[in-house]
Amino acid sequence: MATNSDGARNTKYVTMISGDGFEFVVLREACLLSPTIKGMLRGSFSEAKTGRCVFPEITGPVLEKVVEYLYYYHKNVNVPYVPDMEIPVELCLVLLEAADYFQLDKQMT
Amino acid sequence: MASRANRIRPIRRPIMNREVSEFEPCWDLLRDALVDIHTKNAGRLSFEQLYRASYKIVLRKKGELLYERVKGFEEDWFRQHIMPSIAGLVTNNIVNMTLLQHAGTSASERRQTGERFLRGIRDAWEDHNMSMNMVADILMYLDRSYTVESKRPSIFAATIGLFRDHILRDTVPSVAEQLQRDFMVFDILNTVIVDLINMERDGDIVDRNLIRKITSMLEDLYETDEEIENQKLYLRVFEPCYLEASRQYYRNECEKLLREADASTWLRHAQQRLKEEQDRCGTTISILTVNKVAGVVEDKLVKARLSDFLAMEGSGLKVMIDNDRLEDLAILYQLLSRVDGTMAPLKHALQGRVMDLGLVIEKTVRNMDFSVNGAGSGQADADEAADGIDKSKIQPLTAAAQQTAAAIKWVDEVLQLKDKFDNFWSNCFNKDLVLQSAVTKSFSDFINAFNRSSEYVSLFIDDNIKRGAKVKTDAEIDVVLDKAIVLLRYLSDRDLFERYYQKHLARRLLHNKSEIDTEKDMVSRMKSEMGNHFTIKFEGMFKDMELSRDLGENYRDHIRQLGDVDTKKVDLGIHVLTTNNWPPEVMGRGDGGRVDCIYPPAIKRLQDSFFKFYLKDRSGRVLTWVSSAGSADIKCTFPKIAGKESGPLSKERRYELNVPTYGMIILMLFNDIDEDESLSFGEIQGKTSIPPLDLVRVLASLSIAPKAKVLLKHPASKSVKPTDKFSYNTQFVSKTIKIKAPTISSINKVEGDEERKETEKKNDETRAHIVDAAIVRIMKQRKTLSHTKLTTEVITQLQARFKPDVSLIKRRVEELLYREYLERVDGEPATYQYMA
């Protein structure tokens, strides 16, 4: 794989932007849980170069919940007996869809 | 809350509602992206957009179509853009060089051409690999759902495999036509790499990184798109080819070395090659091959002509051993332990060498003339071990002393040989147990093949203990004794050794020739090595000595209390010896009964007095005086010679003369006669009853040797004859006050052939009794036993002491049958029964 010497490549944080313009600055390490984002950031595509990932078809609240989950997982990855994350009922369906998109549905081991 | 719940639909609907017709726009987007990726313009593309495009296609169940489209696109791309450039690499030069094996091109030319070709392949591969990784990333969702569900190879495997199918396994049609035969680019690739590696083996410098890139490419590619782990192209195609080429290379090299070099070079070369190949696997080829290629080198370079190299004149194993080439041997051991765990060639060679060198020692010792100064100089390794002999070489030696020197020489040489092989063993052979036992066995074999080894070992110990006390430090003696024990371990006829040692020890003890501590130390070593029964007699001898000392002191105290005037003249030092512990020679039991000699009255009184004292506490015991083993200190006065006014003869001379007991008896005879009278041999014998042989010896020492010539012999000649007459030598002069009459009997020396036969005969008699006892013991326990089983058991039981002859056992069995300890069992041949 070609190495890209862009400044954004190894920054500690990346920015995730929802379709309706909400921006979330997220720890890169936490983001890499999602294979989708991981693929996005490792190639030589524009996201990898700029460190900005735009998700036009995902709304702010959903992306917020996704980011919350990424942190939740990142923080508790090795902790036994973690309390469940709170998911509002009305977001359930759309979050399932987002999980599929981010390929976060089969990660849990 | 309710308003939020409404938002679920607006997101889902747009995705789901766009119809099938959306495939084409999505694919167009993706196709353009693929072109950009191949042309390295991916930087302007949004991963998210492309991912989303493929995501949507897959969600609409168009995965298969996408899969085919991508594969088709890549194949087209390959055909149009990559294959032509590869075909361009397959130049006439490279074809000549690899497929046709044309000679005549120089190595550097070949290297340049080869490396150019490899570089082309590498560049194409790196581009392809990178692109395919990116493609696989944007099509991640396809792999995740469609490929998994349809059980097809991942899109990455399918596209990366194109490189295998369309480059490596493909041919270049124009060239194939020209050559009139089929070939694959793969063939060229393999040949080029192997050629480059061979150049490196020959000492050229090649681009290792480049080759490593190519081999890691082969490691990344598989036979099929299923990517089964053990089907890497590297393992399936390249490695066999590489190993075959290596085999070829090393076979040739081995033959060349055999023709041109010596074993030492070969060893170092092989070691170097093994290391090189290992390094090469790390830097140039692949770590996967490391053991296999090592196997090839071991097989072709080491094992193939091993025996030829080891047998090489002037540098083979023989020379390595003889010249102590430790490094060579160490390398040899390392190489052999790689190819053959049993070490068979080395083992046999070592054993053979030990045997040969052992026999050489025996032969040199036998042929060496110890009477001439510097006799050992003809031998390569006559060194410090022989210095004991050098010392005694100052004067011409008597025959007996020569023999003894030979014995010591033999032991020294054997010990040196042992040191030599021990040195090999610990420094070169990694203390290998197999080799140790093999060498030990050979040592034992040749030592036991030499029929005087028991006697020689005992003499060696004798010499070192006697001389050692004067010349060497305790630590040195310690080392020597340790070595002696080592030799002892090899001896199988331990009973014979015991007999000799007993004899030698007896002489040392009685004549006070050694430090008692050293003796005890030695015996305790033997005890721990050979067991208690072996040293019982020796310990008994020590005990006798100690008891005798106490007894002597007590007796002197006793006499002092009595105030007996007469005994002041004679001081008695006595050794009371227990018959069984001491060798028969010393005890005078040797040749058919003891001859009691007639003691002078003064001595006789002393004997009686002591005997009385002795029996006071120990009634019922019998003391026998062994006159042949004792000695006496005599104070004698030689009166002034009339008419001599100057010189020593003008004064009265007093000397202390140390003589054997017999000598004392004889000299005391002359006290009773006048100065000018003489006694004939016969008269002396008649008055003393000393056995003629001993008498000759004693008279010789008193009348011939100038040092203690206190008697005059008529006629004066060099030997004593029964017709000679003896008289008092009034003119005797000596520079020292204390004089020791030279005696022959107190020196431990090698036996003459006669004596030796005698010893062996006695030993055989003892053995016969031991065998008898063993047979009876076994039969008593078993009641009935076959001859073969009996023989085996007897041998097992007696092994620690000696190796009984089968014929001896048979004779003893017959004897026991005759004496009705055993009987034959009716109807069963060769089976015996114990008779109670």
Q: What is the mean pLDDT of chain B?
A: 78
Please tell me whether residues B369 and B487 are part of one structural domain.
Answer: yes
Please tell me whether residues B113 and B36 are part of one structural domain.
Answer: yes
Total tally of structural domains belonging to chain B: 5
Statement: residue B383 has pLDDT above 80: no
Please, which residues 14-33 of chain A have a Cβ atom closer than 8 Å to chain B?
none
Contact yes or no for B245/B185 (Cβ under 8 A) = no
Please tell me whether residues B322 and B361 are part of one structural domain.
Answer: no
Q: Tell me which of B522, B542, B562 is where a domain ends.
A: B542
Q: Tell me which of B513, B542, B571 is where a domain ends.
A: B542
Please tell me whether residues B634 and B713 are part of one structural domain.
Answer: yes
pLDDT at residue B42 in the model? 77
Of the candidate ranges A13-22, B6-15, B754-763, the one whose mean pLDDT is the lowest: B6-15
CATH of the domain at B784: 1.10.10.10
pLDDT digits (tens, 9 = 90+) for B631-676: 777 777 777 776 666 666 677 777 888 887 778 888 887 777 777 7
Please tell me whether residues B258 and B274 are part of one structural domain.
Answer: yes
Contacts of B422 (CB under 8 A, 6+ apart): none
Q: In what order do the strands lie in the sheet with B822-824?
A: B784-786, B831-834, B822-824
Q: What is the mean pLDDT of residues B689-693?
A: 76
Contacts of B78 (CB under 8 A, 6+ apart): B162, B166
Q: What is the mean pLDDT of residues B203-220?
A: 86
For chain A, give every domain's residue range: 9-101
Chain A partners of B45 at a C-beta cutoff of 8 Å? 45-46
Contact yes or no for B564/B570 (Cβ under 8 A) = no
Q: What is the mean pLDDT of residues B86-103?
A: 73
pLDDT at residue A17 in the model? 92
pLDDT digits (tens, 9 = 90+) for B703-742: 777 777 777 777 777 777 777 788 877 777 777 777 777 6
Please tell me whether residues B209 and B159 are part of one structural domain.
Answer: yes
Separation in Å, CA of B82 to nearest CA in chain A: 18
pLDDT at residue A63 in the model? 92
> Which chain A residue shows the shortest CA-CA distance from B132?
A1
Interface check for A55 against chain B (CB to CB < 8 A): the answer is yes
Rounded CA separation B302/B308 (Å): 11
Pick among B9, B18, B37, B46 to test the A interface (most A CBs inside 10 A): B46
Statement: residue B71 has pLDDT above 80: yes
Please tell me whether residues B97 and B119 are part of one structural domain.
Answer: yes
ipTM of the complex: 0.88
Please tell me whether residues B790 and B669 are part of one structural domain.
Answer: no
pLDDT digits (tens, 9 = 90+) for B583-614: 776 665 444 445 567 777 777 877 888 888 88
Residue of B1, B42, B141 with shortest CB distance to A43: B42
Statement: residue B17 has pLDDT above 60: no
CATH of the domain at B152: 1.20.1310.10
Rounded CA separation B83/B163 (Å): 9
Please tell me whether residues B761 and B716 are part of one structural domain.
Answer: no
pLDDT at residue B748 in the model? 54
pLDDT at residue A25 in the model? 92
Q: What is the mean pLDDT of residues B512-531?
A: 80
pLDDT at residue B54 in the model? 86
Please tell me whether residues B322 and B335 are part of one structural domain.
Answer: no
Band (pLDDT 50/70/90 cuts) for residue B270 is confident
Q: What's the token pair of residue B650?
A: 């003008």
The answer as to whether B299 is a domain residue is: yes
Band (pLDDT 50/70/90 cuts) for residue B386 is very low
Rounded CA separation B750/B763 (Å): 17
Within a 13 Å sphere around the CA of B506, how many CA atoms are in the beta-carbon half? 25
Band (pLDDT 50/70/90 cuts) for residue B371 is low
Please tell me whether residues B141 and B94 are part of one structural domain.
Answer: yes
Chain A partners of B134 at a C-beta cutoff of 8 Å? 43-45
Chain B partners of A43 at a C-beta cutoff of 8 Å? 42, 47, 133-134, 137-138
- Beta strands per DSSP E along B239-365: none
Contact yes or no for B808/B763 (Cβ under 8 A) = no
Taking CB atoms and an 8 Å limit, are B45 and A46 in contact across chains?
yes
Q: Tell me which of B676, B707, B740 is where a domain ends.
A: B740
Q: What is the mean pLDDT of residues B535-543?
A: 84
CATH of the domain at B615: 3.30.230.130
pLDDT digits (tens, 9 = 90+) for B783-816: 888 888 888 888 888 877 777 778 888 888 888 8
Band (pLDDT 50/70/90 cuts) for residue A26 is very high
Domain residues for B257?
244-329
Please tell me whether residues B252 and B392 are part of one structural domain.
Answer: no
CATH topology (fold) of A9-101: Potassium Channel Kv1.1; Chain A (3.30.710)
Chain B partners of A1 at a C-beta cutoff of 8 Å? 130, 133
Q: What's the token pair of residue B716?
A: 């004066």
Statement: residue B133 has pLDDT above 80: yes
pLDDT at residue B15 in the model? 45
Residues in B whose CB is inside 8 Å of some CB of A read 1-2, 4-5, 7-8, 11-12, 14-15, 40, 42-48, 50-52, 55, 130, 133-134, 137-138, 140-141, 144
